[in-house]
Amino acid sequence: MDKKKRVIFIDTNVFIVDLRYKNDANFSANRTFLNFMAKSGDGITSIINVLEVCGILSFNLNDQQLQELFYYLPVKYSVDVLPSHNLSAPFPASTVNDLMEILKKKASLGDASIASLVNRSLPERSLFISWDARHFKDLLTSEALTPREFMARQR
């Protein structure tokens, strides 16, 4: 990844709202954001997030549908996957110390894993977009915004 290019990192819950919760109060703002990101080509997520989406939806999918979701998600949303979108790729690792430092700031292991990957992989000017942006504000070196806050800045 080009460390000078600004990227927009998209968290799991943005995809889940679009895929699962069409009646959610944030659905329209979420869809507007995802459409904007698809056109810009600046969106990125992580393999951790792709696997989180797969895990959340796995209870309602058969094996083939789950496999298709894994491969289809980055294509559907026109996002790159950090560090790789390959079933045989190693899972991104952090040191236990790195994770502990984030956990001390009151984070779940999943959030700490994502924050660690984002902090060590994204350029400085990048943005982290999540409906739980407030949970990430003190965990990231990047600025955390909701999709609605991000879109308000685009006007």
- Reported as a single tens digit per residue, the pLDDT across 91-100 is 888 899 999 9
Q: What percent of the chain has pLDDT over 90?
A: 86
According to DSSP, residue 43 is labeled E
pLDDT tens digits, one per residue of 35-70: 999 999 999 999 999 999 999 999 999 999 999 999
Residues 101-130, mean pLDDT to the nearest whole number: 94
Residues 76-85, mean pLDDT to the nearest whole number: 95
Report the pLDDT value the prediction gives residue 3, as an integer from 0 to 100: 54
Distance CA 127, CA 130 (A): 10
Residues 77-96, mean pLDDT to the nearest whole number: 91
pLDDT band at 4 (very low <50, low <70, confident <90, very high): low
Domains for the chain: give ranges and CATH numbers: 8-154 (3.40.50.1010)
Element (H, E) at 48: helix 47-57
pLDDT band at 6 (very low <50, low <70, confident <90, very high): confident
Question: CA neighbours within 13 Å on the CB side: how many for 115?
Answer: 27
pLDDT averaged over every residue in the chain: 94
